[in-house]
Structure 1
Amino acid sequence: MTAPRIVVAGGHSAGHIEPTMNFADALRRLEPTAEITALGTVRGLDTTLIPARGYPLELIPPVPLPRKLNRALLQTPSRLRDSVRAASAVLDRVRAEVVVGFGGHVAVPAYLAAHRQGRLIVVHEANARPGVANRLAARMTTHVFTAAPSVRMAHATAIGIPLRPAITGLDRAALREAARQRFGLRPDGPVLMVTGGSQGARAINAAVSGAAAALRVAGVQVLHITGPRRVVEVPDGDPADPPYVVIPYVDEMQYAYAAADFVICRSGAMTCAELAAVGLPAAYVPLPLRGGEQRLNAEPVVAAGGALLVDDADLDPTWIETTLIPVLTDPERIAAMSAHASAAGAPDADVILARHVLTAVAERRRFAS
């Protein structure tokens, strides 16, 4: 059998690109001969993140779309026609058998091109509130997958979000000592990891750094990942105090996860999925924008008992001192929350989706013959 020819479309933001590349990696593990081409645009992180993962990238004109499926979208502008035409040319050139889309600016042209050419379409939606691209695509195919059962899309099957094996295969206990040493943390005592995502979050940074003294008194170590463009100043403590480590960015997050006992962070879809996969309890601080979709991402693990939820407006040093520190200093509660977080995880979504795509391609070939 000839190698399956697959085009993946999930660009612009890391939240779209990461699951796209994780799926592609799983596809290569299952079928090393698979010919995988990524569609992207010059906007966002496509030209940085996709080539770094070793996949050929074909660029098409970017088409920012309204977040709602409304008349503005249906009144197709000339730039969308140009982008669909460019996507069609790529699909023809690589002789694509299927387009697997994950949303983002590049997905709509890819879906429309594939639909017009009669090619197979597979959709994955990572967010609790589906984006306009994937809602449109769900009308074109029955091959639809979501991160959670609560996501409302036609024909949807919930499988979780494709993650890296370095995350899904992480043994936090086995890596704990080495990970803490890597960051200059002590081998014993609770560790709070702080992160606001790839760019950091001013509100989270200010609240936790403002509670540095209280965290030290409580015996809590801190691994504070500020974001590369954020500056956080923490008053110097006594050398005998628990470490408060401030770093701008972490490339290999599995080490940060292994070092931590608890996380305070935003609740993007990828963050929620990774923390559940590794069994890390968290205090989620949803980004107070985009209609509250980040809150929806966190609600399942919060309902399962694996996380706390705090509004951005309520997050301050006092909340850290009165609400979070009692949790951080209660090993039994952290252990229980960790177990509940693990139960909410879905570590094999990448393989499930890859197997489905390969099966769908094989079935399409049999039907065509």
Structure 2
Amino acid sequence: MRVVLAGGGTAGHIEPALALADALRRLDPRIGITCLGTERGLETRLVPARGYELELVPAVPLPRSLSPKLLTVPGRLAGAIGSAAGILDKVGADVLVGFGGYVATPGYLGARRRGVPIVVHEANPRPGLANRLGARLTEHVFTGHPDAVLPNAEYIGIPLRREISMMDRLSMGDKARSYFGLESDRVTLLVFGGSQGARSVNQAALEAAPYLRAAGVQVLHVIGPKNTVEVEPPPGDPQYVILPYVDRMDLAYAAADLVLSRAGAMTCAELTAVGLPAAFVPLPHGNGEQRLNAEPIVRAGGGLMVDDANLSAAWIVQTLLPILNDPERVVAMSEAASRMGRKDADMALARKVLEIAHR
């Protein structure tokens, strides 16, 4: 059995693909897995690090508006489709699973050209252009959000890494806090802005640092690999730990009582899977999908939401700090978040993919 996965560019496309790859290998270690990617995406680092084969196709971003660049798309797309079809031939693909992004469009069209069965997984409530196209080419469509609208769609959840989806957050708490140099008995706030960080989230948290510290709250703050901090909180007790990037997000989640973060699809899926309540700050631009990601969790009582424009140190002190200092409310929010989680989407999708390929 040979499975080709097409999902590149951002962690939101790559991580579900890799979680599916892990699940397929658990079902059958003999399965051959190849990931399609482009040279500009995070997959060039993430895929080899997880031990999977990566094949590159040319990136063909589509212009967001009518412009002369649109005229160059058909020729470049034809080349990318030919490249993807050649890879499918080379590996002897039995099925192609697409997760969206630049690489999915040539993957879908290359698979259609070669007669390879297509499976589409869409993580977001508002499907992207690539997956809207892919869903027209197959009846095998799965979504990570219950409100996503695509032809033939079946809600299945977002495949997650087992170290996160199967983690017992409470039993790992002391070990996780020690890992980051935090005290085991302090209320802990985790702050991060997605894989690249978020300047507005960083600024508000840093400005609130003295007030959080005065209230006895320690902070683990992941600022993002490309962001810098002009003035760090001075050393003191409780700790305010600043890191550019965290490879062990499972430990970061286990260390935390509550999160302040963006509301990407993967973030929402991971937080609900581990039962971690959050204050969501949806990305203020784009198509509004981050707000849609967080709304079901907030309605269920597993989090709260604040507009990026309204996020400030004062909001953290006035709204978030009272929750952090109310253990019963944190527990209730944690239970509500956990009820929204899907822990088994990786295995459920893997079984569907194998069934489709065998058929």
- Structure 1 residue identity aligned to 2:91: V
Alpha-carbon distance, 1:226 to partner: 1.2
Q: Which runs of 4+ in 1 moved over 3 A?
A: 72-76
- Structure 2 residue identity aligned to 1:120: P
- Supply the distance in 1 between the matched residues of 2:47 and 2:305 (Cα, whole angstroms): 33
Matches within 5 A, 1:175-194: 175-194=172-191
Between stretches 213-222 and 258-267, larger displacement belongs to 213-222
2:214 to 214, 217, 222: 217
Say which SS state the counterpart of residue 123 (structure 1) adopts. Answer: strand
2:81 to 69, 81, 84: 84
- Supply the distance in 1 between the matched residues of 2:226 and 2:313 (Cα, whole angstroms): 22
- Supply the distance in 2 between the matched residues of 1:73 and 1:5 (Cα, whole angstroms): 35
1:14 to 11, 16, 39: 11
Alpha-carbon distance, 1:228 to partner: 2.0
Q: Does 1:121 align with 2:118?
A: yes
Between stretches 335-344 and 109-118, larger displacement belongs to 109-118
Q: Does 1:328 align with 2:324?
A: yes
Say which SS state the counterpart of residue 105 (structure 1) adopts. Answer: coil
- Structure 2 residue identity aligned to 1:121: I
2:270 to 271, 274, 289: 274
- Supply the distance in 2 between the matched residues of 1:303 and 1:358 (Cα, whole angstroms): 35
Contact kept? 1:66, 1:132, Cα under 8 Å: no
Matches within 5 A, 1:1-369: 4-66=1-63, 77-232=74-229, 233-236=231-234, 239=236, 241-363=237-359
Say which SS state the counterpart of residue 114 (structure 1) adopts. Answer: helix
Say which SS state the counterpart of residue 171 (structure 2) adopts. Answer: helix
Provide Cα deviations, 1:129-163, integer angstroms capped at 9, x if missing partner: 11100011111111100012111111111111110
TM-score by length of 2: 0.96
- Supply the distance in 2 between the matched residues of 1:6 and 1:291 (Cα, whole angstroms): 32
Cα distance change on mapping 1:185 and 1:150 into 2, 3 Å: same
Alpha-carbon distance, 1:202 to partner: 0.8
- Supply the distance in 2 between the matched residues of 1:208 and 1:355 (Cα, whole angstroms): 42
- Structure 1 residue identity aligned to 2:281: V
Cα distance change on mapping 1:67 and 1:354 into 2, 3 Å: farther
- Supply the distance in 2 between the matched residues of 1:15 and 1:93 (Cα, whole angstroms): 27
Alpha-carbon distance, 1:201 to partner: 0.9
Superposition RMSD in Å:
1.7
Partner of 1:366: none
Contact kept? 1:269, 1:294, Cα under 8 Å: yes
Provide Cα deviations, 1:273-306, integer angstroms capped at 9, x if missing partner: 1111000000010111112111111111111110
- Supply the distance in 2 between the matched residues of 1:201 and 1:191 (Cα, whole angstroms): 20
Alpha-carbon distance, 1:76 to partner: 5.3
Alpha-carbon distance, 1:73 to partner: 7.8
- Supply the distance in 2 between the matched residues of 1:235 and 1:134 (Cα, whole angstroms): 44
Between stretches 41-50 and 256-265, larger displacement belongs to 41-50
- Supply the distance in 1 between the matched residues of 2:137 and 2:226 (Cα, whole angstroms): 41
Cα distance change on mapping 1:101 and 1:329 into 2, 3 Å: same
Say which SS state the counterpart of residue 297 (structure 1) adopts. Answer: helix
Contact kept? 1:67, 1:132, Cα under 8 Å: no
- Supply the distance in 2 between the matched residues of 1:216 and 1:55 (Cα, whole angstroms): 43
Provide Cα deviations, 1:313-349, integer angstroms capped at 9, x if missing partner: 0001110111111111110110000001000000111
Contact kept? 2:193, 2:223, Cα under 8 Å: yes
Between stretches 211-220 and 101-110, larger displacement belongs to 211-220
Contact kept? 2:62, 2:73, Cα under 8 Å: no
- Structure 2 residue identity aligned to 1:77: P
* Stretches of structure 2 lacking an aligned partner (at least 5 in a row): none
Question: Number of residue pairs matched?
Answer: 356
Contact kept? 1:212, 1:234, Cα under 8 Å: no
- Supply the distance in 1 between the matched residues of 2:87 and 2:287 (Cα, whole angstroms): 35
Cα distance change on mapping 1:214 and 1:179 into 2, 3 Å: same
- Supply the distance in 1 between the matched residues of 2:72 and 2:144 (Cα, whole angstroms): 30
- Supply the distance in 1 between the matched residues of 2:233 and 2:99 (Cα, whole angstroms): 43
- Structure 2 residue identity aligned to 1:144: V
Contact kept? 1:67, 1:131, Cα under 8 Å: no
- Structure 2 residue identity aligned to 1:62: A
* Stretches of structure 1 lacking an aligned partner (at least 5 in a row): 364-369
Alpha-carbon distance, 1:189 to partner: 2.5
Alpha-carbon distance, 1:236 to partner: 2.1
Alpha-carbon distance, 1:181 to partner: 1.1
Say which SS state the counterpart of residue 339 (structure 1) adopts. Answer: helix
